[in-house]
Structure 1
Amino acid sequence: MTVEVKHQPSRGRIALTGDGSGGPDQVADLAELCRSIAELARTSTRPPRRIRLEHLGTAVEVEWDEASAPVTDPRAAPDPAPESEPADGTHHVCAPMIGTFFHAPEPGAPPFVAVGDTVIPGQPIGILEVMKMMSPVEADIAGRVVEILAADGAAVEFQQRLIAVEPA
């Protein structure tokens, strides 16, 4: 598969185009391309404004608004603005991207966490499904779960609050 990469940071756009003549490896290439796009979107400081995929013509476009173009050098990234925490000191674990939030690893299984549970950083608190890919959502602070804010199977937005944690 021939792939041409164009990067136009002034418009916050990355486009991939190819000749579509990949033969038997084309399905594997498409799957890898989808994984790469999902990872690119996941590592950006903001979600892309638009993602376009085309299968046989092999065209992929990921586009950000000018103000939300991804930062390519992590050392050049500004510190993210601290999210305002409630006066009571509760911390919120937020969705790292848009998708469907699930409380349990599979239907009928017990949830990862419940109100009253203690969590530690890195502990799974749910799963986020994005384009049929499952990504764990992990606690980023140690503490006690005081509220589950997102319903099981709910569509969530980027940085939407999922659970409230009372820091330890």
Structure 2
Amino acid sequence: MASNSYETGRLNLPFVGICTFGKYPYQPDWDAIDADVAVLGAPFDCGTQWRAGTRFGPRSIREASTLFSFGHGGAYDHEDDATYLPSEAVSIVDIGDADIVHTDTMRSHANIEFGVRKILEAGALPVVLGGDHSINIPCINAFAEDCEKNGPIHIVQIDAHLDFVDERHGVRYGH
């Protein structure tokens, strides 16, 4: 188990400072991503058919994730008696959010795809925080060239339900 090193460095407790995913470093320069994993927010909800609000998902996920950053050694799980994501095992950065142009689905999706492509160019694993169901589309599109070189990709989608259809009510780029 990694030590917490409370005696050295800043504590950077969950309730202080800038809210990034897991309190990992913020990297605003997408041409300087140097990490194993890069977290990108996709605060988009123009593809939802019911009600808006999922645009606040990335911010809420980041805020909740700070609770797992207590101390310097990673996220300790008392049930497993294990420390997950210790800083010496995997490097993680939060690159902020993709630019969202409210009411412009195609432009917003292009900006999300651009962010995922920058992560892939850096050789990092993209973790995208959404947003509505439609953000899968630009994320998958970003892998087009990568799949030609490296084969199939795997997507982990955490959702209450999966409503993946080609078109719903005449809308192609939504659910």
Please classify the TM superposition score into its range, dividing by the shorter chain length.
under 0.3
Q: Between Structure 1 and Structure 2, whose CA radius of gyration is higher?
A: 1
The structure that is helix-richer by fraction is 2
TM-score between both structures, scaled by the size of structure 2: 0.24
The structure that is strand-richer by fraction is 1
Structure with more contact order per residue of length (Cα contacts < 8 Å, sep ≥ 6): 2
TM-score between both structures, scaled by the size of structure 1: 0.25
